Amino acid sequence: MTSRSTHLRTSVAKTILISTSGALSPGPLSMSAVALGAILGPLAGLMIALGHMLFEAPYVFVLMRFSKKINSIIKRREKPLITITTAFIFFFSYLLIKDGLAYIMATREAPGGSEVTFITSSYSLLGALLVGIILSGTNAYFLLWWVTVGLPIIQDMAYYSSASKFLLVYLSHIWMDYAWLIMLSTGGGIARLFGIKVYAFLLIAISIILMVFGVDLLIRAYLRRKILPF
């Protein structure tokens, strides 16, 4: 009994340490949290994290049963998955640039910022939820992370037959995603305090960074090279 409880504590500690390499790494999901946080506030990060979890939790559960087979399938479908991810990133970036420019133009017509509130109406918490699902479910590198770097977590989860212990190990991972994405979206929301123009340029800057991430994903998938150091 003592041995199993010690193993459980070790599993939780190991999960937290390994999860930092995924949860805190820069990427499209993180930048989306900043961008939508600037528009919707901290709830955007919460909804993105929820969307991420809605895909990740069943994926992790299936991995416990078929990890080797799924790893092979993902590697064979890596290029189409990355292409879909990049297309979504570019579309999302286009919307951010469009709204950022609209904010700048609106402030010229209404220096006090009273005429620009309509621009945020095209974004919603449901949209943030979908961003979390789509950027998780189509990102081959995220999917492969679980069958490579995250494999020890999968193995620890498979060790326990108890659903409550499986849940404990998974919760020791997913809380970090929630904390990180909510923190990023809160930071994006704070940007609004510096004025509409700063806010608009932030959206444009984030969209450019997102497109760089997208190009890097394509280069890694098709040319086996990279332009980003991480």
Nearest to 55 by CA among 184, 177, 206: 177
Q: What crossing angle do the helices spanning 28-40 and 78-109 adopt, rounded to 10°?
A: 30
**Mean of the pLDDT values across residues 206-224?**
89
Q: 206, 94 in Cβ contact below 8 A?
A: no
Statement: residue 2 has pLDDT above 80: no
**pLDDT for the residue 116:** 45
Task: Give the pLDDT band (50/70/90) at residue 165.
Answer: confident
pLDDT of residue 199: 75
Domain extents in the chain: 27-223
Whether 114 shows a pLDDT value over 80: the answer reads no
Q: Is the pLDDT of residue 21 over 70?
A: no
The pTM assigned to this predicted structure is: 0.79
| pLDDT at residue 122 in the model | 59
What pLDDT is attached to residue 117? Answer: 47
Q: Which percentage of the chain shows pLDDT scores above 70?
A: 85
Phi and psi at residue 19, to the nearest 5°: -65, -25
Q: How far is CA 65 from CA 68, 106, 218, in A?
A: 9, 54, 30
What is the reported pLDDT for 7?
A: 64
Q: Read off the pLDDT band of 201 (50, 70, 90).
A: confident
Q: What percent of the chain has pLDDT over 90?
A: 22
Q: Name the strand (E) or helix (H) holding 124.
A: none
Q: Read out DSSP for 63-112?
A: HHHHHHHHHHHHHHTHHHHHHHHHHHHHHHHHHHHHHHHHHHHHHHH-TT
Q: At 182, is the pLDDT very low, low, confident or very high (cuts 50, 70, 90)? A: very high
Residue 230 predicted with pLDDT over 70? no
